[in-house]
Amino acid sequence: MRQSSLVVVAMRLPIDDSVAPDGACEWRRSPGGLVSALHPLLRQTPATWVGWAGGSGPAPSLPDVDGVRMHTVPLTLDDLRDHYEGFANATLWPLYHDAVEQPEHHRRWWEAYQRVNQRYAEATAAVAEPGAIVWVQDYHLQLVPGLLRALRPDLRIGFFLHVPFPPPELFMQLPRRAELLRGMLGADLVGFQRAQAAHNFAQLTTKVLGVSATDRRIAVDDRVVRIGAFPVSIDTAEMSALAGSPEVAERAQRFRRDLGDPAHVILSVDRMDYTKGIEQRLTAYSELLASGHVKVRDTVLVQVAVPSRERVGQYQVLRDRVEREVGRINGEFGRVGEPAIHYLTQPFDRAELAALYRVADVMAVTPLRDGMNLVAKEYVAARVDDSGALLLSEFAGSATELSQAYLVNPHDLEGLKQGLLSALEADPADVTTRMRAMRAHLHRYDIRAWARSYLSALDESGSLLHRLGGPA
Ligand code: ADP
Ligand code: G6P
């Protein structure tokens, strides 16, 4: 088995299969943020990414992708049902997002969660060279740091949670709360999106495990686990360059024409998820249409909502409700050839997405709760002419950094309507001032800065990063 000095562990491998021109199946790097963030670093060392390649049954053996080794973890249909759809996405996901949907608890799901985490830990132990740095990602794999430390105490282990970490009152509902906390404490550094999450975690470890904790350090056995906030970012330069290209500018113009050249385009881009506040936004929009504050010929809403986790009941129910409401609004307020809402469930390639961002005078990002929300950051990066109003929920992690956005509480229907109107009617000079400030922040604090700050905190001695010449 080839071993690496740097190992990233995530539920999914950072690749998609596609069909090559000769018809063969080809694996390509997927365009996700984490992959772009780590790619420059991963290429400089024989790095390995441990994850699931999609599908069920035996793990395919994959070639290196862009110089990064792919180590696949097999998952069966039962694993997917009970670990991914069950414990990860019907217990932890709703609980960590303020329980906006009811979390479900089943013993069989917990058994699968343990089993799958054990499999990831063993796969990682097999590919990490002595003293390697291992970086475990997200809520699907919270037990991996502890399990891995038991197998390989020589490793330097980091854990990063991309989603919110809830306040103690909510986390305490989990029947296996102690095991989950102990799993995370197997890491040397536990990273969160926001300082509040690190604070919640520190409080919980004291309350549940009785350990001594501050918002920066937790004493466990004979070790110190460091904790902190490392807000994830995007490849700002890449999105800006793409959005600024003549092809994307031209595509944006065509989009605008196809939309009927309205005075105002409002855009929302979400995974179809109940955390994203899609229904609340549709209600606000519908009431603005009904009261005549917004008129169909003048303003259009483009709602992109890619179906997600489609075998989980709560997601099926949400999709049905959203589609019924979009149909109702279009039926009531649309005209022939002029729908009130352009509703799209397709995945878009990066250039098309950049063109949509460029065409949007107002970007409405109004989740009920979100770890970060990268769409908000991508929109800002794409506004190369410093125009565009970002309407942003206070409950998105990105609101901490993008404080110049038009901030709203999506639970407050009147506030949401008012926020939308303010963004639509904002003075262009004010819009530009706000956008400039947000763009300057994202140019400084991009995905590479994020990876650098996390990994240098994890690699305290600096030995790995020194050997690699830095992560960026
Ligand atoms: P989440 O991680 O909860 O889905 P984020 O906003 O943080 O939410 O990230 C979503 C990512 O998915 C962004 O990078 C966005 O560009 C991408 N994305 C969302 N919708 C689409 C779509 N229809 N086609 C392609 N990419 C999409
Ligand atoms: C969030 C999670 C990621 C997850 C993504 C898409 O961003 O933090 O870990 O990959 O949603 O969800 P999916 O279930 O399709 O992987």
Nearest listed ligand to the Cα of residue 369:
1
Q: Which of 83, 162, 199, 441 is catalytic?
A: 162
Task: Confirm whether 162 is a catalytic residue.
Answer: yes
Q: In what order do the strands lie in the sheet with 189-192?
A: 69-72, 47-52, 4-12, 128-137, 156-160, 189-192, 223-229, 217-220, 212-213
Distance of CA 169 from the midpoint of ligand 1 (Å) = 30
C-alpha of residue 221 to centroid of ligand 1, in Å: 40
Annotated catalytic residue 22 = no
Ligand number, closest to the Cα atom of 343: 1
Q: How far is the CA of 461 from the centre of ligand 2 (A)?
A: 32
What's the pTM value of the predicted model, to 2 decimals?
Answer: 0.96
Question: What pLDDT is recorded for position 36?
Answer: 65
Pocket (CB within 6 angstroms of ligand 1): 33, 269, 271, 304, 306, 347-348, 353, 372-375, 378
What region, left, alpha or beta, does residue 82 occupy, with left being phi > 0 and alpha being psi -120 to 50 degrees?
Answer: alpha
* Cβ neighbours, 10 Å, residue 443: 14
**CA 155 – CA 125 distance, rounded (Å):** 9
Using CA positions, which residue lies closest to atom 9 of ligand 2?
138
Ligand 2 atom nearest 32 alpha carbon: 10
Q: Quote the ligand 1 centre to 143 CA distance (angstroms).
A: 26
Which residue ranges in the chain fall short of pLDDT 70? 18-21, 25, 29, 31-33, 35-37, 40, 464-472
Tens digit of each residue's pLDDT (9 = 90 or more) over 159-213: 999 999 999 999 999 999 999 999 999 999 999 999 999 999 999 999 999 999 9
Of ligand 2's atoms, which has the minimum distance to the CA of residue 140? 9
Residues 312 and 288: their CA atoms lie apart, in Å, by 32
Tell me how far CA of residue 454 lies from CA of 50, 260, 366, 427, in angstroms: 19, 46, 28, 39
**Whole-number pLDDT of residue 429:** 98
Nearest Cα residue to 33 out of 408, 346, 353: 353
**Ligand 2 cavity residues, CB under 6 Å:** 12, 138, 162-163, 308-309
Ligand 2 site-directed mutation target among 9, 12, 89, most atoms within 8 Å of CB: 12
Nearest atom (ligand 1) to Cα of 345: 23
Among candidate residues 370, 441, 446, 459, the one labeled active-site is 370
Q: Which of 162, 234, 310 to mutate to test the pocket of ligand 2 (most atoms within 8 A of CB)?
A: 162
Instruction: Determine which residue's CA is closest to atom 7 belonging to ligand 2.
Output: 162
pLDDT of 471 reads 45
What is the best residue among 160, 353, 365 to mutate for testing ligand 1's pocket, by most ligand atoms within 8 Å of CB?
Answer: 353
Ligand 2 centroid distance, CA of 399 (Å)? 20
The burial class, CB within 10 Å (0-12 / 13-18 / 19+), for 297 is exposed
CA of 16 to the centre of ligand 2 (A): 15
Q: Which listed ligand is nearest to 51 at the C-alpha?
A: 2
Q: 77 CA distance to ligand 1 centroid (A)? A: 26
Ligand 1: nearest atom to the Cα of 162: 2
What is residue 470's predicted lDDT score, i.e. its pLDDT? 52
Q: Tokens 């980091």 — which residue?
A: 158
The pLDDT assigned to 318 comes to 98
Ligand (nearest to CA of 30): 1
CA dihedral 72, 77, 81, 85 (to 10 degrees): 40
Which residue has the least CA distance to atom 10 on ligand 2? 12
Question: Which residues are within 8 A (CB) of 389 and not within 5 positions of it... i.e. 6 or more apart?
Answer: 361, 362, 363, 406, 423, 424, 426, 431, 434, 435
Domains and CATH numbers, the chain: 4-232+447-467 (3.40.50.2000), 236-444 (3.40.50.2000)
CB-CB contact of 115 with 138 (8 Å) = no
CA of 271 to the centre of ligand 2 (A): 9
